[in-house]
Structure formats: C-alpha cells, structure tokens
Amino acid sequence: MKAVNIFTLLCLTWGAGGSGVFKFKSYDENAKDVNDILDILMRRRTPERYQPDSYFHKYGISLSSKLTSFSYKDCGDPSTETARLLDLEISPDPIELPGEIQVAFKVVNLQRAESPIKTDVTLWKKVLGMWIEAPCMHNMGSCSYRDFCGLLERIPCPQAFRRNKIPCKCPFPAGNYTLPTTKFEVNLSTVPSGDYCIRIKMGSSTQTCYEIYLSVD
C-alpha cells in the first residue's frame, strides 16, 4: 500500500515547483561541499508565509511562488500508478517540532504490493525563493532505497494503524484504507524551521509519485 507509507517516509526524511531549483549530487560525507550545503540547510529560516512583500521585492522573488500553506500533489501517471492518495491532512500548519501532529488520510491501493518496493525520496528546503536539494547522508535526505519494505521492518506499527486495519509491513493487500484524524507525538528537535518539499516515488515500471509541501515553525 504505497501511498499510506508517505507518512512513514515523512518521519524518516525531513519535485519542487516555484521559482527555481538547485540540484546537488550526493557527496562523500567528508567532502567540504556537503558540509557547506548542510550548513545552509540546517539554519533556521522564517517560513515564507510570514515574510512581508518587501522581502520578495528586495530579493527579486516572485510572490506567486510563495508557499502559504500545507499542500500535496500527484506527480505520477494516473493511468499506470498502483496506489492513489485521495486525501492527506496534516496539522498544525506550520508544523511545530518537537510537538504533537495530527494526521488523516484516505488511500486506495489498486493492486497487491510486495517486496521489493524501490523508493526514491528527494528533499528540498527553500532559501531565498530557491529550492535547495538536501544530499543523502546516513539514509537521510534525498536518498534512493532498493526496498522500502526493509525500512518498515525497523519501525513499530502505530496503534492507530492497527486499530484502523492499516497494514504497516509488506506485502500490502489491495483495498481502501482510511486513517481518521489521529494525534502523533513527534520528538524531533533537529529539524530547523523553514519551508520544505518532499517528493516520494515508489515502484519501478509503474510509479506512485507525490510531492508534499510543508512548513516547520
């Protein structure tokens, strides 16, 4: 059930549209370039929704690219994707970390999904109107995973998933799955404030793809 696992990937990672994109390759963790990029990404930034129009005019940033709220979109091919995210709600908006997050979703899995499930995750943070891609380090950031099922084996299944009969391990049967609004305590204190985009592609020949835009306060 590929689309359901977007929530799990959000916990693991922390395409981008808008004005522009800087793309960086993954480097050796000891390389200076990686440290320079991470130094930029790990600085606290004020989410764009709080910036006055003068900020955008000063730096030549288009107001139309301003990220004003949580959103998501399907970046796959509806004619070939094997799972669909019908609805996703995350609050508060912006997210406050560490803190309590409320999540709700509706997913339809069109066919049984079995291991291996290839997964590509790309993580961007917005800096001066530009989306900067985070490199992959220690399986965090913009990474490719041969089999997402292996990652799920390390994560305890939330009680709310079990209560609503949402599977947390491979294989994932075909069917409809709904998580009503549920509170999760997220004890992450290392995610700096700012605007983020996460693109998740799951599968090989038939891909399920979603982009999620969110802000951390």
pLDDT of 22-58, one tens digit each? 454 554 555 677 888 889 999 999 999 999 999 999 9
Q: What is the pLDDT of residues 63-113, one digit of tens each?
A: 999 999 999 999 988 888 889 999 999 999 999 999 999 999 999 999 898
Q: How far apart (Å, rounded) are the C-alpha atoms in residues 155 and 47?
A: 30
Nearest C-alpha neighbor of 6 from the set 100, 132, 117, 126 = 117
Q: Which CATH number fits the domain that encloses residue 49?
A: 2.70.220.10
pLDDT at 201 exceeding the cut of 90: yes
pLDDT at 180 exceeding the cut of 60: yes
Residues found in the chain: 217
Q: Which amino acid is at 156?
A: P
Q: How far apart (Å, rounded) are the C-alpha atoms in residues 113 and 133?
A: 29
Q: Are 94 and 84 in contact (CB under 8 A)?
A: no
Over residues 131-147, mean pLDDT: 91
Domain count of the fold of the chain: 1
Q: How far apart (Å, rounded) are the C-alpha atoms in residues 192 and 204?
A: 32
Predicted pLDDT of residue 95: 96
Over residues 189-197, mean pLDDT: 94
Beta bridge partners of 125: 132, 196
pLDDT at 162 exceeding the cut of 70: yes
Q: How far apart (Å, rounded) are the C-alpha atoms in residues 38 and 138?
A: 13
Nearest C-alpha neighbor of 200 from the set 117, 97, 79, 127 = 117
Mean pLDDT of all residues in the chain?
Answer: 86
- Structural domain for 166, as ranges: 2-216
Q: Are 23 and 191 in contact (CB under 8 A)?
A: no
Predicted pLDDT of residue 29: 53
Query: Residue 143: in which H helix or E strand, if any?
Result: strand 143-145
Q: Which amino acid is at 74?
A: D
In degrees rounded to 5, what are phi and psi of residue 106? -130, 130
Is 117 exposed, middle or buried, given 0-12, 13-18 or 19+ CB atoms closer than 10 A?
buried
The string of DSSP letters for 76-93 reads S-TTT-SEEEEEEEEESS
Predicted pLDDT of residue 15: 35
pLDDT at 6 exceeding the cut of 70: no
